[in-house]
Chain A
Amino acid sequence: MTTLLEVSGVSVTFDGFRAINNLSIQVAEPELRAVIGPNGAGKTTFMDIVTGKTRPDEGRVIWGEKNVSLLGMTESQIARAGIGRKFQKPTVFEAQTVRENLAMALKNKRGPFDVLFYRRSSRGAARIAELAEEIGLLNDLPRRAGELSHGQKQWLEIGMLLAQDPRLLLVDEPAAGMTPAEREHTTDILKRAAETRAVVVIEHDMEFIRRLGCKVTVLHEGSVLAEGSLDHVTQNQQVIDVYLGR
């Protein structure tokens, strides 16, 4: 296990509100990590910083064996470096088919001219079918993504994330709006993905996190309050006060 992502001493302020306050988190590869915390604790902002959507005021974000700083890179460069993200609200391209959505996410060259002269290969099609089967959308490949149910859109976005074949997956509330059976399936997918990669999951549902059975980081007011196994952090008095006890 080696450190893949190192966030250290990061702070960011929005209009005087300190959303992230001297935050430091390290993620190894492979690893499965859950991030919990009350609303406004900075969980999503943490993902925004790592993926380049938000620039921090101070601190460092270091990536990979070569210790590259992610702060000077654009969103698309960060994505190409191997960081994939699933948003809290499922954002798929609703006007396009499930197949087109997956094909766009599939790991391939991303330049305009590479894509223009891209030829569909049987290997690509097989990979899409494989992913579609994993997320239970095999029979929905020709359907428009906008016609899918909320849960299916969540699946599709997870499928797109896997199609990118990233080294680090940042997953924001993957189980929202899913049935218990679907949640279980999601847990399986994430656990399997975490066998070879780093996976960071933001979730509110404690039952879901218990099933993940991984190290948990508790955020509060933009910094780490506690870190360790789920049992360890749920017995922490501070955590009970700010999060669980409410």
Chain B
Amino acid sequence: MSKPEIAPRKRFLAENPSVLWFLGCLALFTLGVTVLSEGFGLAILSTSMVKILGMTLCLCLIAVAMDVVWGYCGILSLGHFAFFGLGGYAVGMWLMYARTEGIVISSLSGAPIPPTQGEIENAIATQIFGVVGSNELPWLWGFAHSLTLQLMMVVLVPGLLALVFGWLAFRSRVTGVYLSILTQAMTLALSLYLFQNDTGLRGNNGLSGLQNIPGLDHLPQSTLSLWFFWASALALGLGYLLFAWLVSGKFGSVIRAIRDNEARVRFLGYDVESYKLVIFTLTAVVSAIAGALYYPQAGIINPAEIAPIASIYLAVWVAIGGRGRLYGAVIGAAVVSLASSWFTGGGALNINLGIYTINWTDWWLVLLGLGFVAVTLFFPRGIGGLFDMIVRKP
């Protein structure tokens, strides 16, 4: 028997043509939306539509992260929306503080005596926290004046939370459904904590007015929405590239092996817990970045956003799109979240059956549930699996 030629190491992109396909589609989509947008000129797509599409891209990014942690590494985290929300809060604090600061300074500028720094800070605190009956800036807002520091918080706070939570959970070898329940508890606890008025993040009011970017007041929303759309597309492209690289090589091989039989991986000498911790923390950070781009487009964030159900939806998107293939997660998140806003936003006409009217805002969830069951039963590989049938003919 002759030895086969050892194939030279191919380039990452040459080995994974689907990544190039995805990036190409994303670039085309971005270009198309830009050309059709109100901000650019053709005005076929309204500004609110551009915002919805930009937000959808952010949801696609967290779905890709979810696919890596669940579809590839087998950790069914039902708490990744907590990281998404924390990213949103971190950037929202600066947006709200800086904007209020601008308003306060301009309204005090007419006063006969120039206001002191203390007076300005008091006025800002009253403006922001009057709604929860306080006029003091909580310690949490210590960095809120600085965009750089708050952007660091976008990465550090969720990253640290994921690191500590993951370390505790994985070290105790909590796996499977027990881990899922723990992650649900984490996001529920965080949400309940933020609901309290004295947490320092305005309780159930959340942070609002986030669509107004301080220092860019002269720009119309139609332009700003495009900027955020581009940023979201860029983040999705880079995130996709990062994760595709991560799961393609030997590292991907090890985490898929952990998903399929983690005990066996230990006997090969791999420290399973540290791999899980790396994946859990990294995907949490990417989720937080997605959230930091999402909420300025949404304009408002409140603790209901990180209720346990949000993270369950995330898992539903990935399951419908197809686990274990990154483009599947993107398809699932895009299709389901766009369909959701279409049905619940009054896009679908209610069906009058004479004795009963199907009101889609209520019945959409039933439809989603049926769709989830149908996908699980008939297409266990999800929508992305249909692509495989076309592309990879046996």
Contact = CB atoms under 8 A, between A and B. Distances in A.
Interface of A: 51, 53, 74-77, 79-80, 84-85, 87, 91, 93-96, 100, 103-105, 110-113, 115-116, 118-120, 122, 125-126, 129, 133, 138-139, 141, 160, 164
A104 B250 contact: yes
B260 interface: yes
Contacts of B257: 93, 96, 104
Given A75-B266, A115-B270, 20 more contacts: A79-B267, A80-B269, A93-B264, A95-B256, A95-B260, A104-B254, A104-B257, A105-B268, A110-B268, A112-B271, A112-B274, A112-B278, A115-B250, A116-B246, A116-B251, A118-B250, A118-B251, A120-B9, A164-B268, A164-B269
Nearest to A86: B267
B260 A79 contact: no
A94 to B, nearest CB: 7
Closest 6 pairs (CB-CB, A-B): A79-B269, A75-B266, A80-B269, A125-B6, A116-B251, A112-B278
A51 B267 contact: yes
B249 interface: yes
B264 A110 contact: no
A180 to B, nearest CB: 22
B271 A76 contact: yes
Contact of B253 (A94, A96, A141): A96
A129 B6 contact: yes
Interface string B223-257: 00000000000000000000000100111011011
B274 to A, nearest CB: 5
A18 B9 CA distance: 53
A122 B6 contact: yes
Determine the interface band of chain B, counting residues with CB < 8 A from chain A: 20 to 34
Nearest to A157: B264
Interface of B: 1, 3-4, 6, 9, 246, 249-251, 253-254, 256-257, 260-261, 263-264, 266-272, 274-275, 278
B14 to A, nearest CB: 14
Given A93-B260, A94-B260, A112-B275, A133 B250 contact: no
B256 A93 contact: yes
Scoring A104, A113, A125, A126 by chain B CB atoms within 10 A of each residue's CB, the highest score goes to: A104
Nearest to A170: B267
A74 B266 contact: yes
17 contacts: A75-B267, A76-B267, A79-B269, A91-B261, A94-B260, A96-B253, A104-B257, A105-B268, A110-B270, A112-B251, A115-B250, A115-B270, A116-B251, A126-B6, A129-B4, A133-B3, A139-B1
A104 B6 contact: no
Nearest to A99: B253
A129 B246 CA distance: 25
B254 A115 contact: yes
B251 A79 contact: no
Nearest to B268: A105
B247 to A, nearest CB: 11
